[in-house]
């Protein structure tokens, strides 16, 4: 799955080894946004092996927070069942909001490896 | 004088240092359209990226409250009708305001929620947000039930009021971000 960023949704890449999201997330319709992503993850994320999740979010609204909560719950379950999941939470320097959000999501993840990574202000890579 | 009200409106907005104001039916489509101009205005005035993002975050939550919960709806489209504005203040940074009609049955619950939020510190709000995220939306919520907590976390302080009008109760929210 390859989905370019829009004004209100992040760039999304999902493969058998890697999931990446970069940008902002405050979709017009959270269900329409989240359903295809979760469906794709269910389809392609393997049972065992290694998997990397790279996130670099600049902003997400409260409706999207629930999506990310479910997103991480999905990977936590995969990790519990034997997939080695590495999550990179990239946040821009000075962005306390996204740092706090990362810390809070990390708190619920016991089986996934979660790393908070400070990136320069203008970065758009992982 | 052609029309005194028009000039007064202009003066009022200028004196108030209002960067953006919209009053009328609000939809997600419209929110998409106004997002860029609002951000442009915020970056044009003297604000850091962090502050601009917080202001925008509060603005989005307020807009979505109007879209989802305003009881006055446009007869043509069904969109929620409300007023939303961002202004600069002398002492407290940006003021983000929203006004919309609400359901009189929901009035007490809304007032209690906001009163509770107004008494919480940053750590308590953060904890509350997390707990709500885990427990899922409360009954009657069309979003995640997180909007007001999110706003409370982004503002330095907020004020709210429910005022009675002939058409029913009207909800006023004012959040300050600096």
How do residues A66-122 score in pLDDT, each as one tens digit? Answer: 999 999 999 999 999 999 999 999 999 989 999 999 999 999 999 999 999 999 876
According to the model, what pLDDT value does residue B144 have? 53
Cβ-contact B154, A60 below 8 angstroms: no
The maximal CA–CA distance of chain A, rounded, in angstroms, is 37
**According to the model, what pLDDT value does residue B143 have?**
60
Q: How far apart are alpha carbons B96 and A117 in whole angstroms? A: 31
Q: Would you state the pLDDT for residue B2?
A: 73
Q: Residue A2 pLDDT > 90, yes or no?
A: yes
3-state secondary structure at position B121: coil
A29 near B CB under 8 A: yes
Q: How far apart are CA A65 and CA A70, in angstroms?
A: 9
ipTM score: 0.91
CB contacts of B150 in chain A (<8 Å) are 61-62, 65
Report yes or no: A117 at the B interface, CB cutoff 8 Å: no
Pairing of strands A113-119, A83-92: parallel
Beta bridge partners of B176: B95, B157
Which of B163, B165, B164, B20 minimizes the C-alpha distance to B173?
A: B163
Q: Can you give the pLDDT at residue B130? A: 95
User: What is this structure's pTM?
Assistant: 0.93
- The reply to whether CATH 3.40.470.10 applies to domain B20-177 is no
d(CA B159, CA B171): 11
Q: A59 and A25 in contact (C-beta within 8 Å)?
A: yes
Domain boundaries, chain B: 20-177
Share of chain B residues as helix, strand and coil, in percent rounded to the nearest 5: 50, 25, 25
- Select the residue of A26, A30, A58 nearest B60 (Cβ to Cβ): A26
In angstroms, rounded to a whole number, what is the distance separating the alpha carbons of residues B61 and B149? 10
Q: Which two tokens stand for residue B81?
A: 């009708």
Q: Which of B47, B48, B57 should we substitute to test contact with A (largest number of A Cβ atoms within 10 Å)? A: B57
Which of the four pLDDT bands, split at 50, 70 and 90, describes residue A123? very low
Q: What is the mean pLDDT of each run of 10 residues along chain B (178 residues)?
A: 87 96 97 95 88 96 96 96 97 97 94 95 96 82 79 97 95 97
Instruction: Using pLDDT thresholds of 50, 70 and 90, give the confidence band for residue A126.
Output: very low
Best mutation target among B32, B38, B117 (most A Cβ atoms within 10 Å) is: B32
Query: Which domains occur in chain A, in start order?
Result: 2-119 (3.30.750)
Let me know if A106 is exposed, middle or buried by CB neighbors in 10 A (0-12, 13-18, 19+). Answer: middle
* Interval A12-69: pLDDT, tens: 999 999 999 999 999 999 999 999 999 999 999 999 999 999 999 999 999 999 999 9
With cut-offs at 50, 70 and 90, classify the pLDDT of residue A125.
Answer: very low
User: What is the SS3 assignment for A74?
Assistant: helix
Query: DSSP letters of A25-54?
Result: E--SSHHHHHHHHHHHHHHHS-SSEEEEEE
A26 touching chain B per CB within 8 A: yes
Contact A91, A116 (CB under 8 A): yes
Distance CA A88, CA A38 (A): 19
With vertex at residue B42, the alpha carbon angle to CA B55 and CA B6, rounded to the nearest 5 degrees, is 105
Of B28, B49, B149, the CB nearest to A28: B28
Give B134's contacts in chain A (Cβ within 8 Å).
Answer: 69, 108
Q: Do A105 and A72 meet the contact criterion of CB atoms below 8 Å apart?
A: yes
């Amino acid at each position: 799955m390859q989905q370019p960023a829009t004004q209100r949704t992040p760039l999304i890449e999902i493969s058998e080894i890697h999931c990446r999201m970069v940008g902002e997330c405050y979709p017009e319709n959270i269900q329409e946004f989240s359903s295809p992503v979760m469906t794709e993850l269910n389809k392609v994320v393997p049972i065992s092996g290694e998997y990397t999740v790279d996130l670099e979010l600049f902003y997400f609204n409260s409706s999207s927070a629930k999506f990310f909560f479910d997103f991480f719950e999905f990977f936590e379950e995969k990790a519990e069942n034997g997939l080695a999941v590495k999550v990179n939470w990239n946040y821009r320097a000075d962005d306390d909001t996204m740092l706090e959000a990362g810390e809070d999501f990390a708190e619920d993840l016991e089986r996934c490896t979660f790393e908070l990574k400070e990136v320069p202000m203008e970065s758009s890579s992982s | 004088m052609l029309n005194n009200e028009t000039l007064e409106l202009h003066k009022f907005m200028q004196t108030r240092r209002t960067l953006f104001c919209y009053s009328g039916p609000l939809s997600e489509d419209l929110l998409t359209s106004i997002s860029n101009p609002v951000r442009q205005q915020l970056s044009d005035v003297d604000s850091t990226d962090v502050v601009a993002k917080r202001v925008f975050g509060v603005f989005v939550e307020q807009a979505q409250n109007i879209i989802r919960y305003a009881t006055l709806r446009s007869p043509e489209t069904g969109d929620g009708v409300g007023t939303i504005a961002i202004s600069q203040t002398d002492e407290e940074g940006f003021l983000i305001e929203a006004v919309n009609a609400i359901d009189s049955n929901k009035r007490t619950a809304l007032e209690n929620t906001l009163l509770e939020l107004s008494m919480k510190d940053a750590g308590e709000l953060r904890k509350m947000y997390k707990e709500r995220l885990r427990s899922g939306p409360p009954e009657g919520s069309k979003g995640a039930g997180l909007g007001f907590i999110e706003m409370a976390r982004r503002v330095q302080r907020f004020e709210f009021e429910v005022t009675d009008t002939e058409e029913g109760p009207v909800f006023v929210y004012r959040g300050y971000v600096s």
